[in-house]
Structure 1
Amino acid sequence: MKHLGIEEIQEIIPHRHPFLLLDYIEDYEPGEYAVGYKCVSYREEFFAGHFPQEPVMPGVLTIEALAQAGAVAILSKEENKGKIAYFGGINKCKFKGKIIPGDKIRLETRIIKQKGPVGIGEAKASVDGKVVVSGELTFMVG
């Protein structure tokens, strides 16, 4: 297993606070997959407005966190170092549960197809072993 802390993640992807949505990478294989985690705190800025009476992590931010895990996988390949992975599309996305303060999200993105700079990642986010978000993320490396 290849572990990455926050400093190593920031050497691979360009995201920074408050938009870096990974706390650590548990394992990854360049060009193939990455498994990371986000520990959700009540102090997250988005909870102030989403929703004050019932704090729920926005689904689009969960998709972004999955994309960042995928970016670690694709941008850790030697030929992609220093580049950026952009969204090209989101397909087959399903939201199956809520993410609330105190949750530890497991973010797994596996690269299932790539041709040139364009590829697809199969992504799923889970909390306590239950899948809460899944989908296919298309990316373009530029």
Structure 2
Amino acid sequence: MTNSPSSPVVLTNEEIMGLLPHRYPFALVDRVVEYEPGKSATGIKNVTINEPHFQGHFPGRPLMPGVLIVEAMAQVGGLIVKQIPDLPKGLFVFAGIDSVRFRRPVVPGDQLLINCELISIKRQRFGKVKGEAKVDGNLVCSGELMFSLVD
């Protein structure tokens, strides 16, 4: 892990790829700036016009699809669940969402600051995290995300 006074980066993109299975074009976390393994994480997603979904969502008025905002939150949450001590090794997948709300559009040029905190782990197979995504300090999305260990 990288952490120096001159750089707020705690996990680089390469380190994130070592923890999560996602790859282009579905790797939605560019870096992690705060991280307490098994407890909480804050990640950054830089939103750029070069992302393929903007070709059709929407021409002339590009908006980041809400499902991709939620997926970015789930990837930050996955970093937490992946590092919980004493959990079985394996693939934790996104299993559900509760109470998700979208507050404002996310557009190219925005930087999503995504904060997730562990709520619970059940039977060493199921995890739940609370997530929030903000742009310029304004809440754009929040909700609870569930994960399940697949065999």
TM-score of the aligned structures, taking structure 1 as reference length:
0.94
Q: CA deviation at 1:80?
A: 5.1
Q: 1:82 to 1:102 in 2, by over 3 A?
A: farther
Task: Report the counterpart of residue 65 of structure 1 in structure 2.
Answer: 72
Summarize the alignment of residues 48-127 of structure 1 with structure 2, pairs less than 5 Å apart.
48-79=55-86, 83-115=90-122, 116-127=124-135
When the two chains are superposed, the root-mean-square deviation of aligned CA atoms in Å is 1.6
Task: Report the counterpart of residue 6 of structure 1 in structure 2.
Answer: 13
* AA aligned opposite 2:37: P
2: CA distance, partners of 1:32 / 1:69: 11
Question: Identical aligned pairs, as a percentage?
Answer: 39
Q: CA deviation at 1:7?
A: 0.6
Q: CA deviation at 1:76?
A: 2.4
Q: CA deviation at 1:117?
A: 1.1
2: CA distance, partners of 1:83 / 1:16: 18
**Range with greater deviation from structure 2 (3-12 or 110-119):** 110-119
1: CA distance, partners of 2:86 / 2:143: 26
2: CA distance, partners of 1:88 / 1:36: 20
2: CA distance, partners of 1:80 / 1:64: 22
Task: Report the counterpart of residue 41 of structure 2 in structure 1.
Answer: 34
1: CA distance, partners of 2:84 / 2:126: 14
Contact 2:38–2:82, Cα closer than 8 Å, also in 1: yes
**Range with greater deviation from structure 2 (91-100 or 2-11):** 2-11
Task: Report the counterpart of residue 133 of structure 1 in structure 2.
Answer: 141
Q: Deviations over 1:73-97 (max 9, x none)?
A: 1112354586322122110010001
Structure 2 spans left out of the alignment, 5+ residues = 4-8
Contact 1:120–1:139, Cα closer than 8 Å, also in 2: yes
Structure 1 spans left out of the alignment, 5+ residues = none
Aligned residue pairs, count? 142
Q: Rg bigger for which structure?
A: 2
